[in-house]
Amino acid sequence: MKPIIPIKNSDIVDSIRELKKTRNNISSQNITKTNSALNLAKWINDIPIIYYPWGLQAAAIRFKNSLQENSKVHVIAEDIVEACHNGIVSWERKSKVKPILIQGRDDYIKTKKRWVVVKKYFKKNKIDYWEISSVNGNILSKLINLIYVLDYCSIYKAVLLKTNPTPVKSIDFVKGKM
């Protein structure tokens, strides 16, 4: 990755250390109220919309794709900047869509302000939402850790829905027609 992304060896070591901490929380060995991935899976119903800042787009899109493939549910993903422009308008109507806010611990100052405003709007309009924050550290630690937690969430959601994640008949259908 070094030729593409400026990553130091210490970034890799840090991300592994954070993953080990996270493992204890989200593992299937911890099916308690402290398991953040399981809690989010239980909270998701209807159609989740994932709001994310630009720097965490990879984790958000991966989460959308994992939920769709593993849990077989519809999911929407939208950048928080766009959500504060046209996307916020759709919340003027009652909806079965449920917002999930993926936030970075050190998001850009204007992004942090957007999060505050969006959360105030949701609270004012009694729109239930879920927040998930990245770990502290470098971008690799943040992305890898979020992907780890959110992938587990998608698997837990599949289990809760009694959905087998492995058959992907619709993908096979499309591939068969290409």
Give the pLDDT of residue 42: 98
pTM above 0.75, yes or no: yes
Confidence of residue 8 (pLDDT cuts 50, 70, 90): confident
Bridge-partner residues for 99, per DSSP?
A: 49
User: Could you give phi then psi for residue 130, rounded to 5 degrees?
Assistant: -120, 140
User: Hey, what domains does the chain have and what are their CATH numbers?
Assistant: 9-177 (3.40.50.10490)
> Which amino acid appears at position 72 of this protein?
K
pLDDT of residue 77: 97
Integer Cα distance of 152 and 149 in angstroms: 5
Residue labelled with tokens 């959110």: 150
> Which pLDDT score is estimated for 73?
96
SS3 137: coil
3-state helix, strand, coil in the chain (%, to 5): 55, 10, 30
Tokens at 109, concatenated: 């100052």
Q: pLDDT band at 47, cuts 50/70/90?
A: very high
DSSP state of 71: I
- pLDDT at residue 1, as a whole number: 63
> What's the rounded mean pLDDT across residues 129-140?
94
